[in-house]
A and B are shown apart, each in its own frame.
Chain A
Amino acid sequence: MRKGSKIGEFEEIVILTVGILGDNAYGVTIKDEIEDRVQREVSVGALQTTLRRLEKKGFLSAKQGDTSAGRGGRPKLYFSITPYGKKAIQESRDVRNSLWDALPPGLLNEIA
């Protein structure tokens, strides 16, 4: 892996979630999705810091969108994965796959 494209575990989760949500990825939905899937509570602070960091690094891009009821007229900020972000999660997956492939075949049975 090249230096600079390293992503942390939570970062990877956030990027993947943004991908899953497609056109509807903004603060609240991302938070809900992660909490649903990973079964852990995500604070707005932690999520927002990570989102902005990923945006700054170029893994995500942000676009201001419409507002909806219950937001006091405030706009939503939609996130989507950039090509660079896609490459990064792909690389991360490849590394993992190659590590999985190298695992001795019998090992997983023992765990199970």
Chain B
Amino acid sequence: MTSPPKWPFRLLKFFCKRAYHLDIEGDLMELYERRVQRLGPKKAKQKLWKDVIFLFRPSMIRSISPDLNTSPMLKHHLQMAFRHISQDKTSFIINLTGLSVGLTAVLLILLWVQDEWQYDKFHANDQQLYSTYQNYDRPSGAHTTERTPTPLAQAMAEELPEVEYAVAVNDLFQWRNGLGLLSNEDQAIEAKGLIASEDFFKVFSFDVLTGNSEQTMKRKDLIAISDQLAKKLFSSADNALGKSLEWDHSGFKGLFQINAVFKLPPANSSLQFDVVFSIDHLLDNDQWSGNWTNNYARTYFVLTPGTAIETFNPKIDQLLSNKEDKFRSSLVFAEPFSDQYLHGRFEDGKVAGGRIAYVRLFLLLAAMILVIACINFMNLSTAKASIKMKEIGVKKTLGASRSSLATQFLTESILLAFMGLTLAVQLSYLLLPFFNRLADKDISIPLNPAFIGGLVAIGILTGFVAGSYPALYLSGFRPITILRGKLPTLFGELWVRKGLVVFQFSLSLLLITALLVVNDQIQFIKEKQLGYERDNVISFQFKGEVYDNWSGLRDGKSNETFYRFMEELRNTPGIQSASTISFGNLLDKIAGQSGVSWQGQTEEEKGVAFKSPVVGYDFIETMGIQLKEGRTFSPEFKDHYHRIMLNESAVELIGLENPVGKILRMNGGDCEIIGVVENFQHGSLYDMIEPFIFRFDINGGNVLAKIQAGTLAETLPRLEELHQAFLPGRAFEYTFLDDDYLALYKSETQVAVLSKYFAALAIIVSCLGLFGLTVFTAERRRKEISIRKVLGASIYTIMHLLSFSFTKVVLAAVLIATPLAYWVSSNWLKNFSEGISLSPYYLLVPSLSVLLLSWLTISYQTYRAARVNPSHALQEQ
């Protein structure tokens, strides 16, 4: 007889339910014996393993814990937890409120972070999807642009084997916001257009609902439209297929056939569009767009899996320098497509963060709030140690192990954490609409397993962190000392408890300081004099034709209609002055100009790029920029494209003594400097002031009009009327320049508003903790207070006695947090070219308010304690 192998039986013994184990083992042995006889030991062993493995099923597996006592113990722990709760409702309510408020904040922050992280990540190719950027030299360091030469995409797809697909995309340069008029016989709708090369729908996962997207992108006469647009124009996607639409945009126009319908891009997509055209429209309408030296399109591509972008980047660069020897190396590079939202800021040609900073900030905030809430729990439960002491002593004498006591406390804290979590989820549901409005988002609570799993994890983590200290601390008491009625070494405990409060209040103080600084800096930005006037200036794009053709600028052809429009605009009552700019404004998307040469230029200076908006008559006046010398563009002098104006910074860079009348060479012609303006802050305060060359063109698609102060209400309807007369059917959409300026700081403002609420929550939770601690101390010192009163202490002395210990703690927090707050705020302010200076005000106000807040929190309790009637308190025992 061969003895059966041991391991299968050991395994069975390990997992099988005790009650089933023995006879199943017997059966298996019997079977094994028989199989050895029939099939030989090898086969028998295999079959045995198979049988054991197939016995591993839910109804056969025993519970994990080795002692069979687990579930009654758990029941006992839960029962004890509920008894403790009903014994001391005050601290339960304080704990629960603190935890649920804290967890609500954490939940909302996590939802926000999750939403930020998901941005642009819905494309199936996300892992391999990249966008290219190109660097240009500027005096202030390399400048990065998102646009690259149009032919790059095709060349990459053809010549680099690592590239699966590549696509060139142009958003009509945001001219008229990329909005054109799409019309059928019945109606006309403004739609956002996108021009893209063939593989657009292969690179991006925009769902094509019906039709042939591949064919559409290849042919000039076909278009793809969004389902929303199809529904509006033809009532359904299927109806729209094959129908014709008229497109009208100053870039190009024509009659198109709908060959595909796609689902409108979701809100978390950076590419937003209603209609897609073939790239040929760009190439046909603009003679410069197909060049290797002009940046007309964004290039996106899909890399074959397994290719590292670091090793691939030099290859794009090589490709570009092969095509155009003007380019030196390391100019073009690619970054993951979905990174551009959170890591969209470039400094000196390299990624330098972006929105990710706020995501990190909020995660830190969430962690801080959670820690503050946990500290409350720790504090209150260690403070209650004296009450629990007898229970612990008795249990220990009866043989309870330290680990079983620790489990009891952890059970209690995890139970509380889950109660808090349940409340927090409900609170978040209630607050979500409000939160969405604040954060300008459309977040909903996802009820998927991952989210619920995450919640459970947060609950357990919170319960564990909050309960760990009491569990370790309380379970370590020696039964003999505590049953004798002696307090265990209170010294250490007191220090820990005070240390925790110090930590809490340091965090609160840090938050208050940060809030003050951020808010004041934003206020500073709002009121900052920029060197031009942005009040009462409206800005809008002329949606009609500005030039006779797209690249009209250098051909000097102007459009009569637009010319008349500008004339009538200037004559409208209430309009102080009006001008044009080719596109953008002085805030962003300012055109650039490189290849400028002048007398005495050094080799190094040849690569310098200037900011160079193309502006119309009266621009300097409309914007209120200060003229330093010379004159401005004016009809009197019949100015043309070869007359330019500089700012001081440009004069300095070029090194001109008497700039007016001097000549610069650019774009293949001599340009005469007619005037110089003082420096002004373009863009946001994050930007450095750069050298400007104002070029001149009588027409420019973006209109700026200065309205006389106080006449806004009358003037705007007049403008509306004028617009209607010239462009019937097109909406008159304008923005105020000062609003546009503030919009540059949208994330800052949003973050400031959000953090205000979260900081308030953090402070509330801290104060709750302090409140709980005061209640407890006051109760524990009742007798002491009574004796003091009997001996003649006044209410004031007693309040002083009670408050003083807390005041010391808060003062310690002030001492710790103030330098930290100073360091953090001054670092943040360094981001701005100009900002508020950190006066003592920013450090004193938070300290005083924290002190005041803590006094307010404890005053009622100390007062109540001091008012106690000594005879009642002393009678109790």
Contacts and interface: CB of A to CB of B under 8 A. Distances in A.
A75 interface: yes
Contacts of A77: 23
Among the interface residues A27, A45, A64, A76, which one has the most CB atoms of the partner chain B within 10 A? A45
A27 B31 CA distance: 10
Contacts of B207: none
Nearest to B56: A45
A28 B35 CA distance: 12
Interface string A32-55: 000000000001111011001100
B29 A26 contact: no
B59 interface: yes
Interface string B13-53: 00000001011111111110110000000000000001101
Contacts of B56: 45
A91 B4 CA distance: 44
A97 interface: no
Contacts of A49: 57, 59-60
A43 B31 contact: no
Contact of A28 (B4, B22, B30, B54): B30
A75 B22 contact: yes
B55 interface: yes
Contact of A71 (B20, B26, B50, B53): B26
Given A26-B23, A43-B51, A64-B23, A74 B29 contact: yes
Contacts of B55: 44-45, 48
Among the interface residues B1, B24, B30, B59, which one has the most CB atoms of the partner chain A within 10 A? B30
A18 to B, nearest CB: 15
B24 to A, nearest CB: 6
Contact of A45 (B4, B23, B31, B57): B57
B862 to A, nearest CB: 63
Nearest to B19: A52
Nearest to A27: B27
A70 B50 CA distance: 20
Contacts of A45: 51, 53-57, 60
B57 to A, nearest CB: 6
A44 B35 CA distance: 14
A86 B23 CA distance: 25
Interface residues of A, number: 22
B31 A74 contact: no
Nearest to A53: B59
Contacts of B53: 45
Interface in A10-68: 26-28, 31, 43-46, 48-49, 52-53, 64, 67-68
Given A49-B60, A52-B59, A75-B22, A44 B30 contact: no
Nearest to B27: A27
A64 B26 CA distance: 12
A2 to B, nearest CB: 24
A106 interface: no
B47 to A, nearest CB: 10
Among the interface residues A31, A52, A72, which one has the most CB atoms of the partner chain B within 10 A? A72
Nearest to B22: A74
Nearest to B9: A72
B28 to A, nearest CB: 7
Nearest to B36: A70
A27 B27 CA distance: 6
Interface residues of B, number: 24
Contact of A72 (B29, B57, B60): B29
A72 B30 CA distance: 8
Nearest to A30: B27
B61 to A, nearest CB: 11
Interface in B53-84: 53-57, 59-60
Given A44-B54, A49-B59, A70 B24 contact: no
Given A43-B51, A43-B54, A53-B59, A48 B20 contact: yes
Given A26-B23, A28-B31, A71-B30, A48 B50 contact: no
Contact of A76 (B23, B31, B50, B57): B23
A31 B31 CA distance: 10
Contacts of B23: 26-27, 64, 74-77
Given A44-B54, A46-B54, A72 B59 contact: no
A105 to B, nearest CB: 44
A44 B30 CA distance: 12
B29 A71 contact: yes
Contacts of B27: 26-28, 31, 44, 71, 76
A5 B769 CA distance: 58
A17 to B, nearest CB: 15
Contacts of A75: 22-23, 26
Contacts of A48: 20, 24, 55, 60
A54 to B, nearest CB: 12
A42 to B, nearest CB: 10
Interface string B779-800: 0000000000000000000000
Nearest to B26: A74
A4 B271 CA distance: 58
Contacts of A76: 23, 26-27
B328 to A, nearest CB: 71
A31 B34 CA distance: 13
Nearest to A77: B23
Nearest to A46: B54
Given A43-B51, A44-B51, A74-B29, A27 B24 contact: yes
Contacts of A52: 20, 59-60
A44 to B, nearest CB: 4
Contacts of A67: 26
A87 B348 CA distance: 86
A72 B54 contact: no
Given A43-B54, A44-B31, A44-B55, A72 B26 contact: yes
Contacts of A72: 4, 25-26, 29
8 contacts: A26-B27, A27-B24, A27-B26, A31-B31, A48-B60, A70-B33, A75-B22, A77-B23
Interface of A: 26-28, 31, 43-46, 48-49, 52-53, 64, 67-68, 70-72, 74-77
- Nearest 8 A/B pairs, CB to CB: A74-B26, A45-B54, A27-B27, A77-B23, A70-B33, A45-B55, A71-B26, A44-B51
Given A67-B26, A71-B27, A71-B30, 8 more contacts: A27-B24, A43-B50, A44-B27, A48-B60, A70-B33, A72-B29, A74-B23, A76-B26
